[in-house]
Amino acid sequence: MPALEDVLAKIDANQPAALERLFNLLRIRSVSTDPAFKDDCRKAGQWLVDELSALGFEASLRPTAGHPMVVAKAKSGRSGVPHVLFYGHYDVQPADPLDLWETDPFAPRLADAPQGQRIVARGSADDKGQLMTFVEACRAFKESGGLPCDVTILFEGEEETGSPSLPAFLEANKAELAADVMLVCDTSMWDRATPMITTMLRGLALEEVIIKAASRDLHSGLFGGPAMNPIRVLSRIIAGIHDDQGRITLPGFYDGVSELPEEVAAQWREIPFDPKAFLGDVGLSVPAGEADRSVLEMVWSRPTCDVNGIIGGYTGTGSKTVLPAQASAKFSFRLVGAQDPEKVLESFRAYVRSKLPADCRAEFMNHGASPALQLPFSSEALSRARRALQQEWNKEVILGGGGGSIPIVGEVKRHLGMDALMIGFGLDDDRIHSPNEKYELSSFHKGARSWARVLDGLAD
């Protein structure tokens, strides 16, 4: 096994070339949700296959019903070492609104900032920059004599659309993907100097509701009054979901939501977190969640219901005196603990139906549902990773939560019975999914160094 110092030095020396490689990946417009970018998604997958093959991995592009998966394997050549499965996603969110980008989202560049240089491009932090930290760590090991663990890599191209092809793929390739532990690089650090291992992730249930009333759009002078307006119905439905304390009123919604273990609650209370700054950074000042919860709890360990969009009636320029025949809204629920996504959706649908006046109907369209994820707060792999991160960053590692969702983590637990270690180097101000997404150069560089230390620590 190569000496860790040599591997770290190799990563340092490889930095300029590593950045070039990442830029090449960032230039590929792998937007998974839009069929117009189907070929680009394939191209990004193939780029990774080529890159990993060149590193000596046995790599291939695997077709699915949607965008292809990348699977790559390399052995350490040593016995008795752990086998890790590393996961990342090569797909990205749409770049729009385009006019809010300072430069072309798919023309990556380095920008100067007071804290240091940053990489600006769609996908720089979510997730191409992050997944390349692991690839660069593997490269450095390979160039220094070999990998310390057996490594399987799985890169997905549909994470940003809820990973529709993943469950079937995991089921069909169970044996091939089996490993001792999964490593995921798709989460954040606590702050730019403090590493974090994410031990809980919120789940996500997505449901669209269409309220239909009259058989066609109506003149609001001829029919206004007697005819029910579906936008009015929808508004009442939306308004009734939260009470004045910010709690969600759906019957049974909080079933399965539990309080944090005291030791975790205690660590969270001690984390230097400034809710004013957190909200101030996005132009807000007063937390809108449950009145009796801290902001950290609101994003890490409490469930939510959000309306992500409302559609209905005339929204063009000028005015139109119309009573629309239908109105719709897109809802998302962030779930925690043991909340059952199906039960939440059932309760939601029953609530919507209960609010329907005469002559109105509701239609539902599901866009996916996954439960929340709670990983053990202690395990051998977690302690080793913790020590490795501490050595790189010289800081106590935070065991935190993540407000977002990563479908694979729950699916791998279900299909392969394997827990994940979620270690990421993103920052809260990376603007993922937003215009001018960036990834700190320090995240990219020290992220690769961190993975080298983690792999070394797991193998030791």
Structure tokens at 343: 């039960």
3 state SS of 48: helix
Bridge partners (DSSP) listed for residue 440: 118
Minimum distance between the CB of residue 458 and ligand BES, rounded to whole angstroms? 22
**What is the number of other CB atoms lying within 10 angstroms of the CB of residue 136?**
27
Task: Give whichever of 144 and 188 is closer to ligand BES, judged by the CB atom.
Answer: 188
Q: Which of Mn ion, ligand BES, none is residue 124 near (CB under 5 to 8 Å by kind)?
A: none
Task: Give whichever of 229 and 370 is closer to ligand BES, judged by the CB atom.
Answer: 370
Within 188-217, which residues bind ligand BES (CB under 6 A)?
188, 204
Task: Give whichever of 41 and 204 is closer to ligand BES, judged by the CB atom.
Answer: 204
Task: Give whichever of 90 and 141 is closer to ligand BES, judged by the CB atom.
Answer: 90
- Does the footprint of ligand BES cover residue 94 (CB under 6 A)? no
Minimum distance between the CB of residue 289 and Mn ion, rounded to whole angstroms? 22
Please select the residue that binds ligand BES; options are 1, 388, 406, 458, rule is CB under 6 A.
406
Structure tokens at 30: 């792998």
Minimum distance between the CB of residue 91 and Mn ion, rounded to whole angstroms? 9
Task: Give whichever of 312 and 341 is closer to ligand BES, judged by the CB atom.
Answer: 341
Minimum distance between the CB of residue 292 and ligand BES, rounded to whole angstroms? 25
Where does residue 91 rank: exposed (0-12), middle (13-18), buried (19+ CB within 10 A)? buried
Please select the residue that binds Mn ion; options are 186, 297, 430, 437, rule is CB under 5 A.
186
Task: Give whichever of 126 and 456 is closer to Mn ion, judged by the CB atom.
Answer: 126
Task: Give whichever of 91 and 290 is closer to Mn ion, judged by the CB atom.
Answer: 91
Q: Which of Mn ion, ligand BES, none is residue 187 near (CB under 5 to 8 Å by kind)?
A: ligand BES
Q: d(Cα 255, Cα 332) in Å, to the nearest integer? A: 18
**What is the number of other CB atoms lying within 10 angstroms of the CB of residue 356?**
18
Applying CB under 5 A, the span of 112-120, 184-192, 342-350, 446-454 interacting with Mn ion comes to 184-192
Q: Which of ligand BES, Mn ion, none is residue 188 near (CB under 5 to 8 Å by kind)?
A: ligand BES
Minimum distance between the CB of residue 127 and ligand BES, rounded to whole angstroms? 6
Q: In angstroms, what is the C-alpha Rg of the chain? A: 24
Task: Give whichever of 212 and 438 is closer to ligand BES, judged by the CB atom.
Answer: 438
- How are beta strands 83-89 and 181-184 bridged, if at all? parallel
3 state SS of 88: strand
Within 73-92, which residues bind Mn ion (CB under 5 A)?
none
Token pair 């300072």 is found at: 102
Please select the residue that binds ligand BES; options are 76, 229, 405, 450, rule is CB under 6 A.
405
Query: Contact at 8 Å (CB) between 188 and 424?
Result: yes
**What is the number of other CB atoms lying within 10 angstroms of the CB of residue 354?**
10
Q: Which of ligand BES, Mn ion, none is residue 440 near (CB under 5 to 8 Å by kind)?
A: none
Task: Give whichever of 195 and 407 is closer to ligand BES, judged by the CB atom.
Answer: 407
Beta strand ranges found along 245-318 (DSSP E): 304-312
Minimum distance between the CB of residue 201 and ligand BES, rounded to whole angstroms? 6
- Does the footprint of Mn ion cover residue 437 (CB under 5 A)? no
Q: Which of Mn ion, ligand BES, none is residue 162 near (CB under 5 to 8 Å by kind)?
A: ligand BES
Within 112-151, which residues bind ligand BES (CB under 6 A)?
126-127
Q: d(Cα 70, Cα 49) in Å, to the nearest integer? A: 7
String marking each residue 385-404 x if it binds ligand BES according to CB under 6 A: -----------------x-x
DSSP letter (8 states) at residue 162: T
Bridge partners (DSSP) listed for residue 118: 111, 440
Please select the residue that binds ligand BES; options are 186, 207, 290, 437, rule is CB under 6 A.
186
3 state SS of 365: strand
Phi/psi-derived region of residue 77, left when phi > 0, alpha when psi is between -120 and 50, beta in every other case: left
Task: Give whichever of 40 and 186 is closer to ligand BES, judged by the CB atom.
Answer: 186
Which has the closest alpha carbon to 441: 111, 22, 118? 118
**What is the number of other CB atoms lying within 10 angstroms of the CB of residue 216?**
8
3 state SS of 188: strand
- Omega before 180 within 30 of 0, i.e. cis: no
Q: Write phi, then psi, for 27 (nearest 5 degrees).
A: -75, -15
- Does the footprint of ligand BES cover residue 187 (CB under 6 A)? yes
Query: Contact at 8 Å (CB) between 204 and 333?
Result: yes
Residues that bind ligand BES (CB under 6 A): 126-127, 159-160, 162, 186-188, 204, 402, 404-407
Residues that bind Mn ion (CB under 5 A): 126-127, 186
